[in-house]
Chains A and B, each alone.
Chain A
Amino acid sequence: MKWFRSLFESRKRSSSDSLSIIKSKFGNFISILDSNNKALKIMSDMEEKSQGDYLFDINYIRTSLADIRAAVQKMIDNMIALGGDNYLPLRERYRKIDTQLSLILPGGRNIPEDEFTIPFSRLNYEKAFSVGSKTANLGELTSRLKMPVPDGFAITGWAYKHFIDHNKLQDKISNEINALNIKSYSDLQKVSDRIQDLIMGCEVPGDLQDSIVRSYEELHVSNDGIGCCLRSSALGEDTQFSFAGQYKTILNIKDESLIPSYKEVVAGKFNAQAIYYLLSHSLSESELAMGVGCMKMVNSAKSGVIYTRNPVNSEDNSLLINSILGLGRFLVDGIVTPDIFHVDRDNLTIKHKDISHKPAKLIALPGGGTAEKAVPSQEQEKPSLTDNEVAKLAEIALKIEEHYGHPQDIEWAIDDSGEIYLLQSRPLHVAKKPKPKKEIDLSAYEAVSEGGVPISPGIGAGPAFNITSPDDLDSVPDGSVLVTPHSFPGIVAVMDRLNALVTRVGGIASHMATIAREFRVPTICAPANMCSLHNGKEITVDASSGIIYDGIQPELIEALAPEDDSVQDTDIYEMINKLLPHITPLNLVHPRESEFLAEKCETLHDITRFCHQRSMEEMFYGATEVKDRDSLCVELKTDIPLKVNLLYIDREPPRTDRKGCITVENIESVPLTTFWSGIAHEGWPVPPGPSDARGFAGVLATSMTRGGEGEFAENSFALISKEYMILSLRMGYHFTTIEAMITPIANNNYIRMQFKEGGAAIDRRVRRIRLITEILTKFGFENNSRQDFLDTSLTHQDESTTRKALYSLGRLTVLTKQLDMALSSDAITTWYIKDLSQKLGIAEQKADDDG
């Protein structure tokens, strides 16, 4: 008997293997439905937001996108687990779509593993994802373009991650930021202080310290000269978002101050304005690792910024060189108004010079640190660059622009010996010169001030509001025109409240100007008569021409506002409208079409649609192919002479009676009990007893029967969970498979039935399919039939509608049992359609009821 037992056991094992496979597939399937639901919800919400009737911020886009990505990736993983390698092409499709999304809204990448430090000579632009684009660009200038860049090295994003992980900082930081109200500058400042203190109190891990120190030593900084500077180079910075001046640069550091300065730059990632910038551009803090560049200081005699094009006027064929004396910080921080040299891009001749008053400069001290120094009076008004230097700088700048194929914003310095150095190069955003919508007689309006320098074009009006320090920022009212002597760091935090901005000093090359252009706040600097702009004075600022008009002038705003200056033209709407075409359009509509393929998925919605459809099919066929299911089942005991074996896929089956049976009342499966109550409602035909046969000699078989006894005798079976069932019913000579999911979430709900065969001749079977199709259509089912085969489904209906439909389907199952036999003509079929519709309560209203 041993062989018999082993045979039996191996059979049992393969059955339970088969069950555990189907259970795990069911898990995948449920997860797909869940992810599908999540993704669809976010998609429709984003579409609604893009219509422009609701307020949202960039954080919303970030989170939504991250959630959709997670949901779609999960769907794909589960789809492959459920249906196998056939679905691998989905990964490729996802990657393509995701790349498109990343180009529009960068971020969301993992920090790549790399060395902790890498010298500029081994860097190029492709390393931007590891070291940040600022440093990667310096590497590109050094290694590919052989441009004069001071020696230096990158401290990578991987090093940052090591520092954060080592000190277990991420959760603490995220908690602080998530709880933040970005509308309050003082809150921002408090949170920022807390995070920065936290970071400063942490230890840089030993291996990272060693690596930084080793790389530093390779720079051979002399003991008596000036040191290095550490600059932030956040991963993701300068790609889509400039982060201009948001992060820290520490000038002139040496030896022992190196490691604390590294921490300081890292902590600078969390300064108030940087957090604001991050959140207001919906960039996730955790995705932006802080790379740091360490570079030998240039003892700058003069320095500045080159714009290879005029950033406020794309039609101007000039290259602009901004220049001040000493270190460049006074320029980018807007403390000194620079000289501006307008150079003709074609022949490198100077078209025009704006020479400014330069009373002070910043210098590096030999022992480390920097100091402000007064400029001798005879030099204050002199051009800071010679014509020769201008030509040299212009030539270099155009070479760099040519290399990148895009206008550049280049920081440069010239040391005491006249040597040129490049300190940074990044893409320059060039604004189109706004064209006035209509001609208007400007002389009719009284100008308060003229001759301001346009640094961010546009027109805006409101009451003037003067501030002089970051302490005043919280009190800046919405819709005001901010008037300030110079730019200071926190201003970015109130940008979205401003209708216009006026500063006394600064310039087109300051970080504030870059930010103002990004936020589209009309901005001018250095206007005449600024002292007349007292608090509450209503003014209209035409920042495209540098004029301030008295009063709020709606006609002027209407006439001069750039044509496309609508709500939807703001960055955030532009962003969502650029993203949506890769997310929401649905190309894969009908599973019957030959184009319904993984390879044809063009959007995330296509992928979710495809997975949803195919997962139902995989589950359906998977469930009908369970091996030896009888040995794993419990039997359903009912009044109906229909043997149904039940297989629980989400739990152990409930207790059975001695014969291994359970009753309908003990089944905890909403779809099965719903369906069964429909069957029970109609009752099952009871064969006539012997007395009814009245001498009847016995039944006579017909030549109609197909398949024979074997088919007829096969048990029905169901796989069930609390919210799901797949029921394979043998109903005489036809079989029907009904799958249903009923949950409180409409998107998850569906019913699917496949119906095939029958005992009667083909034309009667086809008539029955017609009948069922017509009735189910009235319940909202979508039908796909071929001859006597029907595949029909109802999806996305709410819980009660789905239940009602499933209950009716149970009734219909009994009502159409062997109905094919009776369908001898089309007329009788029509009669039955009407009759059954009435029975099921879906008969069409009489025409006069409609009116």
Chain B
Amino acid sequence: MMEGRKAGDLMIPLDKYPHIPYWFTLRQAMAEFENSSIEINGQISLPRIILVFDEKYQLMGMARRRDILRGLEPEFLSGKSYKHPKKLFDVGVDPNLSEMSYDKLLKAIRERAESKVSDIMVPIKETVDYDDHIMKVIYEMVSNDLSMLPVMQEGSVAGVVRSVDIFHEVAQLII
């Protein structure tokens, strides 16, 4: 059975998957996370990633929960601009060492929440094709350490395939 399964069979169509335009704020992205759910075969799950599009409805990137949290982290905690890519030798600031005022922190986070999702989104590194075999999907996920891949069909994004669904499919065969 597994030999018959393709990326297209396993994907969540784009219209069922949460996505937002790039100029939306982190706050709006969070609302999207908090208010969306994905229903597959009667199973409801929460999205772990949302897609980011431009005004021409072209896929620009994606945002995970931790990307958003990174974006919310006030500069006085990270010591670095949130736009600064994490480097190997960056020295983190121990939050316990900071003088923390709850109000100050909250204010800073709220300010951060108004920044654009395009500031924190991560680029799409790989895609799979609608007709790609499941093995190709597994290969791309593992070798690129990805839990989600956009599925392309005739040059357009048709949906996404998640590691959780691939895992489920493989598990059906094994256990």
Chain A interface (Cβ within 8 Å of chain B)? Answer: 685-688, 692-697, 699-705, 712, 732-733, 759-761, 763-764, 817-818, 821-822, 824-825, 827-828, 830-832, 835
Task: Please pick, from A693, A700, A704, A822, the residue contacting B20 in the complex, using a CB distance under 8 A.
Answer: A822
Docked-complex contact A760 and B15, CB < 8 angstroms: yes
Given contacts A821-B57, A824-B36, contact A685 B22 (CB under 8 A): yes
- CB-CB under 8 A from A687, the residues of chain B are 22, 54
- Tell me if B157 counts as interface (CB < 8 A to partner A): yes
- CB-CB under 8 A from B124, the residues of chain A are 696-697, 700
A821 to B28, CA, bound (A): 12
Task: Please pick, from A685, A702, A822, A825, the residue contacting B157 in the complex, using a CB distance under 8 A.
Answer: A702
- Tell me if B141 counts as interface (CB < 8 A to partner A): no
Docked-complex contact A702 and B85, CB < 8 angstroms: no
Docked-complex contact B58 and A702, CB < 8 angstroms: yes
Docked-complex contact B118 and A688, CB < 8 angstroms: yes
- Tell me if B59 counts as interface (CB < 8 A to partner A): yes
Closest Cβ of chain A to B80, distance in Å, is 15
A760 to B22, CA, bound (A): 15
Closest Cβ of chain B to A200, distance in Å, is 84
- CB-CB under 8 A from A828, the residues of chain B are 18, 31-32, 35-36
A692 to B56, CA, bound (A): 18
Closest Cβ of chain A to B21, distance in Å, is 5
Docked-complex contact B36 and A825, CB < 8 angstroms: yes
Docked-complex contact A821 and B61, CB < 8 angstroms: no
Closest Cβ of chain B to A204, distance in Å, is 82
Docked-complex contact A692 and B15, CB < 8 angstroms: no
Docked-complex contact B23 and A693, CB < 8 angstroms: no
Given contacts A697-B123, A701-B57, contact A685 B21 (CB under 8 A): yes
Docked-complex contact A704 and B36, CB < 8 angstroms: no
Docked-complex contact B36 and A732, CB < 8 angstroms: no
Given contacts A688-B118, A701-B157, contact A822 B56 (CB under 8 A): no
- CB-CB under 8 A from B156, the residues of chain A are 700-705
Task: Please pick, from B21, B35, B119, the residue contacting A825 in the complex, using a CB distance under 8 A.
Answer: B35
Docked-complex contact A824 and B32, CB < 8 angstroms: yes
- CB-CB under 8 A from B22, the residues of chain A are 685, 687-688
Docked-complex contact B56 and A821, CB < 8 angstroms: no
Given contacts A692-B119, A822-B20, A828-B36, contact A703 B31 (CB under 8 A): no
Query: Which parts of B110-139 form the interface with A (CB within 8 Å)?
Result: 116, 118-119, 123-124, 127
Docked-complex contact B56 and A732, CB < 8 angstroms: yes
Q: Which partner residue on chain B sits nearest A700 by CB separation?
A: B59
A699 to B123, CA, bound (A): 9
- Tell me if B82 counts as interface (CB < 8 A to partner A): no
- Tell me if B153 counts as interface (CB < 8 A to partner A): yes
- CB-CB under 8 A from A824, the residues of chain B are 16-19, 32, 36
- Tell me if B60 counts as interface (CB < 8 A to partner A): yes
Docked-complex contact B23 and A696, CB < 8 angstroms: no
- CB-CB under 8 A from A685, the residues of chain B are 21-23, 55, 116
Docked-complex contact A821 and B53, CB < 8 angstroms: yes
Closest Cβ of chain B to A766, distance in Å, is 12
A831 to B118, CA, bound (A): 21
Docked-complex contact A821 and B19, CB < 8 angstroms: yes
Task: Please pick, from A688, A702, A825, A830, the residue contacting B53 in the complex, using a CB distance under 8 A.
Answer: A702
Docked-complex contact A699 and B31, CB < 8 angstroms: no
- CB-CB under 8 A from B19, the residues of chain A are 821-822, 824
Docked-complex contact B31 and A821, CB < 8 angstroms: no
A702 to B52, CA, bound (A): 11
Given contacts A688-B22, A701-B156, A821-B57, contact A832 B31 (CB under 8 A): yes
- CB-CB under 8 A from A693, the residues of chain B are 60, 123
Per CB-CB distance, the 6 closest pairs between chain A and chain B, nearest first, are A685-B23, A761-B15, A699-B58, A696-B123, A828-B35, A700-B59
- CB-CB under 8 A from A702, the residues of chain B are 14, 53, 57-59, 156-158
A821 to B61, CA, bound (A): 14
- Tell me if B147 counts as interface (CB < 8 A to partner A): no
A732 to B55, CA, bound (A): 6
